[in-house]
Structure 1
Amino acid sequence: MASEVVTSEVAVGIVTVSDRASQGVYEDRGGPAMAAYLERVLATPWRREARLVPDERPVIAATLRELADEHRCALILVTGGTGPAPRDVTPEATEDVCERILPGFGEAMRTASLREVPTAILSRQVAGIRGQSLIINLPGKPAAIDTCLDAVFAAVPYCVDLIGGPRLETRPGTIEAFRPRS
């Protein structure tokens, strides 16, 4: 009897926060942009847990809890709702569910974005930890998603290691995951 090799896929949450996209007024381009980025960068097999939700703080928070607690997503990327407009509540919803906030992620992403657009200082994206899940807020514009993930992704696999998540490997020639040598 031949033994079967089973490769388990890492669950990754892909959340788009948008009133209009969730109502079908326009196509969600943020979720596919985040997924395309991960396809390019992650060597580890992964599966997408995609969600499209309105700019409603309780709905965003409930979605993040579901992805972290029920689906055990090692990484949850959230696009949209990070600006200064009254309905932009993604950072607050993220803070509602996280046990710890990681300010360096937001700082690095804003710094990288500021090299491209002066309005990057208006962005309020945050990152934090819930259990064994790393949650990262990203801007809603697809080009900004790549800029921000490029700025922080080298640290993502090691962060997931530190919180007890699965080992994430990156593809050679893309972002090199940084792990300190022991």
Structure 2
Amino acid sequence: MMKLRSALAVVATVCAGVMWVVVVGAIINFLVASGVSATERRAVYEGRVRVVDGDTLMIGQDRLRLEGVDAPELSQLCMLQSRPYRCGQHVASALKDMIGRGRVRCVYRDWDPGRLAQQAGRAIVQCEYAGTDLGDWLVSRGLAVPYYTSQYRSVGMRACERNLGLWAGAFTRPASYRRGGDSVNDRLGRETGRTCDSALRRLGAQ
């Protein structure tokens, strides 16, 4: 009887160990699949990048958000000549093509804690590639809009006035899209009939 109990105790211990390994493995797989990274705070991030979306980059395990710009989400649709197109994917592809396999240098500006429990924090950065400010490059081509700062406002105004990129059609402010909004006040672009001055004022009220 004692031997049986000892055997059962060993089996229970082994099973508990196996379950612990399975649970830990599942958590790790979930974090990897969710794109959660162990971003470190440092003065400078430098290296080859992976473009996550139009305003988010990865250098190694560090997740970086471009300062002062907001690009469409990957799932976001915009309008051009009254037809929908995948503007979020278009912007991400354009940024990938611009950077290629080159090295990017990013300077730390601030920290953005994860909005959801499963999201790790990310660094807010200003990045350069081959001497070009990536935020300026995106906004000047109408691929992103100024965000929470006047840093790129004049650049965004010129892109709007020239009907470049997103401004040529109609799009929902990315910040509003993330919150599930799509009201008339949050729609921008030439096809909405809204003036550039009005649009840039709206972007300043995020």
The two structures have a TM-score, normalised by structure 2, of: 0.26
Answer with 1 or 2: which has the greater Rg: 2
The two structures have a TM-score, normalised by structure 1, of: 0.28
